[in-house]
Amino acid sequence: MKLFRAPVVAIAAVAAFAVPAAVEAHRIWMLPSSTVLSGDEAWVTIDAAVSNELFYFNHQPLRGDFTATAPDGTAMEIHNLNTGRFRSTFDVHLTQQGTHRVGLVREGAIGSYMLNGERQRLPRGFQMSQMASLPAGATDVQVVENHSRTEAYLTLGAPTATLFQPTGKGIELVPVTHPNDLYADEPGVFRFLLDGQPAANLEVTIVPGGSRYRDEVGEMHLTTDAQGEVTIAWPQPGMYWMNLTSGGGDEDEGTAPARRASYAATLEVLAP
């Protein structure tokens, strides 16, 4: 394990999450200006976008309530947030030694119901906690609950693992190999949880960045094992987008909500 051979100021290690059904052809990602830094403090700028070419912003900006968390678990301020035509950008100020997290978590539901013989759609932003507010007489309720998680990890000084405590909601990363400690001559091992349990038998899609300049996308498809782990052999140094999606859940007599969760990440892999 080559834990922190030297401070590196290079681009990108992200975790981004869930692609709504309407934009499944596009990929959601956040791109830090640096992922591994040295010194007493540092600034990092984050680009956040939705596009089908990695990591090239040409479709629409990623919007939402971005968060940043320090190594001790305290919330950090989001500075200079701006949303343009193709991307959102913001800055974070790293003042603690260790690994920080920048993220975007989205929760909600989409679906419809029958009322007076007509199909009605759930309003935008509908939450599962609002199920009791459906109109009296609503029937044939069809609901898909969505949970998406997008994260970027930034390390100042030596990497730490204090932020990888699962919440039990959605797909979460509990890494075996630290996401800021990836090298092309060493496979990376990642463990995933789904609602707090091992995320077994989920497909993991890995796509190298720079697809705009290649004839082939070069994506890889792997599957998590019974413990929710996957081992990734990196073909070469560079930036890689990683995505997992869990599609749906059991329905009870057609009324219990299906469950969809997703997680995406852009990981920087350094030269040996």
pLDDT 10s digits, 18-60: 333 333 458 999 999 999 999 999 999 999 999 988 898 889 9
Neighbours of 186 (CB within 10 A): 16
**Proportion of the chain above pLDDT 70, given as a percent:** 83
DSSP structure class, residue 14 = E
Phi-psi region of 12 (alpha: psi -120 to 50; beta: other; left: phi over 0): left
The CA-atom distances, in angstroms, between 121 and each of 115, 138, 194, 254 are 10, 11, 28, 17
Pick from 167, 166, 186, 184: nearest CA to 175: 166
Per-residue pLDDT at 248: 56
CA 36/CA 11 separation, integer angstroms: 9
The residues pairing with 138 across neighbouring beta strands, listed in sequence order, are: none
Per-residue pLDDT at 258: 81
Q: Which is more confidently placed, 162 or 247?
A: 162
Average pLDDT over residues 4-19: 37
**Which residue type sits at 270?**
L
The residues pairing with 241 across neighbouring beta strands, listed in sequence order, are: 207, 266
Tell me the pLDDT band of 137, cut-offs 50, 70 and 90.
low
124: tokens are 């935008």
Pick from 259, 240, 241, 239: nearest CA to 249: 259
Per-residue pLDDT at 10: 34
Per-residue pLDDT at 108: 75
Per-residue pLDDT at 24: 45
By CB neighbour count within 10 A (0-12 exposed, 13-18 middle, 19+ buried), where does 134 fall? middle
Per-residue pLDDT at 110: 76
Is residue 256 over pLDDT 80? no
Least confident among 8-12, 34-38, 82-86, 241-245: 8-12
Question: What are the residue boundaries of the structural domains of the chain, listed by start?
Answer: 14-269
Q: Which is more confidently placed, 246 or 172?
A: 172
Collapsed DSSP state (helix, strand, coil) of residue 252: coil
Instruction: Give the tens place of pLDDT for each residue, 150-167.
Output: 998 999 999 999 999 999
Per-residue pLDDT at 252: 42
Average pLDDT over residues 185-201: 95
Cis amide bond preceding 55, omega within 30: yes
Instruction: Give the tens place of pLDDT for each residue, 53-99.
Output: 889 888 999 999 999 999 999 999 999 999 999 999 999 999 999 99
Q: Which is more confidently placed, 127 or 75?
A: 75
Per-residue pLDDT at 6: 38
Q: How far apart are the first and last CA of the chain?
A: 11
Per-residue pLDDT at 90: 97
